Amino acid sequence: MTIITLIPGDGIGQEVVPAAARVLEAFALPLTLQYADAGWATFQQGGDALPPSTLALCEASDAILFGATQSPMDKVAGYRSPILALRKRFDLFANLRPARAGDIDLLIVRENTEGLYSGRERVEDDGATAIAERVITRRASERIVRAACEQALLRRHKLTIVHKANVLKETCGLFRRVAFEVTAGYADLEVEEMLVDTAAMRLVQDPARFDVIVTTNLFGDILSDLAAGLTGGLGIAPSANLGIGRPAVFEPVHGSAPDIAGKGIADPRAALLSTAMLLEFLGYRAEAQTLTNACYGIAHMGSTAATTDEIIRILQRMP
């Protein structure tokens, strides 16, 4: 039996993850769904944002659907972001973030384990200077670029390597060098490089020119929100966090959206598209395709339940 752990988390995660569970149940596949707690509310109750009981359920599962969690801006003793912890625990190095609308169909492949997210921050001069270390390794660069090349082969065979090696000569320099070493082994791909600032501009001016973009952690975080903004917003932006084996973690790119939480109005499509990526990962390709098309085929109807109902109706009309 295939086990899926559902982690609603905070805010609208509590609304969109149950919507995804309804859709999964509608497929009537041999899947066991189990819920687990994580996030800010969980931290406030028990002092741990990702309790050992949740981790144990995740360890025993094939895939995880993660809603959203609220993270404090300031340092809170003992708090760690559950999504960052899950990425680390399962070495989910590849963050796949597709963006589709009209003639735009691109995929950002974001390195997910290092860069400016390495957690190496400190203060000096009694707090008057703050320093973050940006860690780039050959190993992580190699595997993320290889993952991006494999994705490009499944798509339009075009890869854009995004970096800032003109300034960050060591870190981006290493990433860029390794990227070209890896892509040299993919003769069927059209490969180009682009500075991250240029990439931001070109994404706005001519997003349809892009197929697969591969980049480091923070650049990928920023550009994927930009791409989401171009294609209907965060309400429709899904992602997959993939490692070597199982489990993988699937999450809507949007956060907990406290401003609209509890009102039943959150757009469930980002979570449902993430669920489609989860189904694809588990080998249910036809179901994944049908669900993806259903999500892109309708507009959000203003209520989480209504949009979910409509998507389930579309699925049930399918052969």
Please identify, among the stretches 78-86, 182-190, 197-205, 302-310, the one whose residues bind ligand IPM according to the rule CB under 6 A: 78-86
126 is catalytic: no
Nearest-approach distance from CB 227 to ligand IPM, in angstroms: 12
Nearest-approach distance from CB 204 to ligand IPM, in angstroms: 19
Q: Does 81 bind ligand IPM (CB under 6 A)?
A: yes
Please choose which of Mn ion, ligand IPM, none residue 84 contacts, taking the beta carbon within 5 to 8 angstroms, the exact cut-off set by kind. Answer: ligand IPM
Pair of tokens at residue 27: 């497929």
Taking CB atoms, the residue at the shortest distance from ligand IPM is 221
Q: Does 294 bind ligand IPM (CB under 6 A)?
A: no
Binding mask 184-223 for ligand IPM (x = CB under 6 A): -------------------------------------x--
Please choose which of Mn ion, ligand IPM, none residue 10 contacts, taking the beta carbon within 5 to 8 angstroms, the exact cut-off set by kind. Answer: none
Q: Which of 37, 62, 114, 221 binds Mn ion (CB under 5 A)?
A: 221
284 is catalytic: no
Angle at 313 between CA 310 and CA 318, to 5 degrees: 130
Q: Does 5 bind ligand IPM (CB under 6 A)?
A: no
Q: Does 273 bind ligand IPM (CB under 6 A)?
A: no
Q: Does 83 bind ligand IPM (CB under 6 A)?
A: yes
